[in-house]
Amino acid sequence: MHPQAVHRLSRVWVPSGGGIAASGLEDGHAKLIRAGFLRQSHAGIFHMLPLGRRVQDKIERLVARHMEHALAASRVALSSISAESLWEKSGRLPNVSSELFRFSDRKGVPYLLSPTHEEEITSLVARTVKSYKELPLRLYQITPKYRDEFRPRHGLLRGREFIMKDLYTFDTTVHSALETYEEVRVAYTNIFLDMRLPVLAAKASSGDMGGDLSHEYLLPTALGEDRVVSCGSCDYVVNEEVAEAAPHNEVSLDTDFAVWRGISKDRSTLINAWYPAKTNSPTTGSVREYTGQDINLSAVKCLKPDLDAGVEDALPIWAAALEGPDRRATALVNIVDGRLPPSFSEKLRVASGRLGASLWPEELDPPQPTLPISIHGEGREEINNTNLLRIRTGDRCPRCSAGVLKVEKAIELGHTFHLGTRYSEPLGAMISLPANTSPGTSKVESGRHGSDTPQTVPIQMGCHGIGISRLIGAIAEHRADKKGLNWPISIAPYSCVVIPAREADKADALQVYQQINGAVKTAGEPLDAVLDDRNKSLPWKLNDADLVGYPIIVLLGRDWPSSRRVEVQCRAVGMKDVIHVDDLPPLIQQLHNTL
């Protein structure tokens, strides 16, 4: 058996910044760059350097362990290249085409770089699995994905190339598919617990992925692009997109109103969302004020799915449509928030009957005297009694009587979807079931009565993702402090660094390193300590150790030559203790179990 190699920082390429000061306010991504974990190659595309690669490898191993041990999933590696024809067949291509990297081969056959692999995995299983006896089947991969982001940002949090873990599940019945879904949710909870991350599992919209059940796994942070709503008294946790509002007792005068305007993707329909500018509560007397920033675009899109939520100033665009050749195809939709009184809706109807007044209280600028009334009569729609405003922290919970809601920004780290037959049906992933068996039942039994002719049904599917590279950026952002990064011990590049203060102590430092590595176990494996034997000053090494974010630092300082005592530092628990070297292994083990 070969002796374990000694990890030495002198043998690792770490273009780090122990002697480089931070330039101004530094976020987690900037610390990853300065500490030598990664470098940007192009917009939204990054090279992973040795320290970053070690973190990525550890996350992948941790996730893979849960996939295989908890879910009995088999690992595959699908090609990053997918045929556009498959995406056309699934019906998903038109909705996502703007975000795809697309190309054609020399024969003109169109391909794309996969942002996800539902089409390819379903096609593979469709060609291979034919009987219910071959199910359940659980396949996962950890591979690069590609998305042509319009505006890459926040480093690894929103890139154009990224590493994802995908788990695809295939079941015979709806009941068994939902059981699988719950098993995956438990595994995801344990994965994030192992990383010491306070992730919230929130009910979410399935979006373009399809299916009717999904959950997002969200890490609260100010950099988040999602908003998660949670109750402090019950288990109500949802993405804002699907949040329910408790029945409100706020009232508003018909003179305290404002309007937010949007437009449809085809630029033919102006959407007016009328809401109260000010409300007061009859019970508490509290006054609330609202602006266009409080409009819940998800609620508007639920009512008008063709809304282009990216347009900030819709009125000029619609005015141009009115002057175009298809002006009689234009339409107007008025959506009225339920907090506004019935008298407001009546006032709106009266105003809409006047020439050019459908945009009340403001006219088109310049005025449109030739605007035909028929556009506002035949093409006008009104939707009342809906909740158009975003939920705020302090609102009442819709599920329990005592609960108060909290709204936080958050980063999505994972997503689970119950897809049903969304992909298996169009892509022909079918299985043969015994006669008299329903795919909605809890188990498959051979029919003993009636026809013995087997039936063919689509496979019940699920897909479940975790952003591996996004986790690196999110953890860096979530746990960093003014000194540097601060990794959970389960995924740190090295869980402990041994630093000799003097050149003469390097041989002793090697002995301390070997003593720790031989005695301490983590997840059944030796501790992965590293020896900082670089020819740098002690202050440089200590600054670098803090910047890199090693969970534990062991320093052979001034007490070492005389008393064989070492200094142990652990920022996560605020420790800086001097102990005898013989007491070091049990202390490191204790810290390891805690961190």
Residue 496, pLDDT score:
94
Residue 344, pLDDT score:
76
Please check the confidence at residue 190 and state whether its pLDDT lies above 70. yes
132: DSSP letter: G
Please check the confidence at residue 368 and state whether its pLDDT lies above 50. no
Residue 151, pLDDT score:
86
Residue 364, pLDDT score:
37
475: DSSP letter: H
- Could you give the maximum distance between any two Cα atoms of the chain, in Å? 97
pLDDT, mean over the chain: 85
10: DSSP letter: G
Kindly provide the residue ranges of all beta strands, DSSP E only, lying in 210-330, ordered along the sequence: 213-220, 226-231, 237-239, 257-263, 269-276, 278-280, 287-289
* DSSP run (H or E) holding 191: helix 174-194
CA count, 13 A, side-chain hemisphere, 276: 24
Range from 362-376, 498-512, 556-570 carrying the lowest mean pLDDT: 362-376
Maximum mean pLDDT: which of 304-318, 458-472, 557-571: 458-472
Residue 328, pLDDT score:
66
Q: Would you place residue 348 in the very low, low, confident or very high pLDDT band (cuts 50, 70, 90)?
A: confident
pTM, two decimal places: 0.86
What is the mean predicted confidence (pLDDT) over 271-293?
80
pLDDT digits (tens, 9 = 90+) for 459-483: 999 999 999 999 999 999 999 999 9
Place of tokens 């007016």: 272
Please check the confidence at residue 426 and state whether its pLDDT lies above 60. yes
**3-state class of 396 per DSSP?**
strand
Answer whether 494's CB lies under 8 Å from 479's CB.
Answer: no
What is the mean predicted confidence (pLDDT) over 501-509?
82
DSSP notation for 139-150 = EEEEEEEE---S
Please check the confidence at residue 196 and state whether its pLDDT lies above 50. yes
Dihedral angle computed from the Cα positions of residues 350, 355, 356 and 362, in that order, rounded to the nearest 10 degrees: -50
- Token pair for residue 407? 């709204």
Please give, one letter per residue, the 3-state secondary structure of 331-360: EEEEEEECCCCHHHHHHHHHHHCCCCHHHC
Please check the confidence at residue 294 and state whether its pLDDT lies above 50. yes
Range from 41-50, 117-126, 203-212 carrying the lowest mean pLDDT: 203-212
Q: Which residues contact 537 (CB under 8 A, 6 or more apart)?
A: none
Question: What percentage of the chain reaches a pLDDT higher than 90?
Answer: 54
Answer whether 298's CB lies under 8 Å from 304's CB.
Answer: no
Residue 314, pLDDT score:
86
Question: What percentage of the chain reaches a pLDDT higher than 70?
Answer: 85
Range from 85-94, 270-279, 418-427 carrying the lowest mean pLDDT: 270-279
**CB count in 10 Å sphere of residue 590:** 11
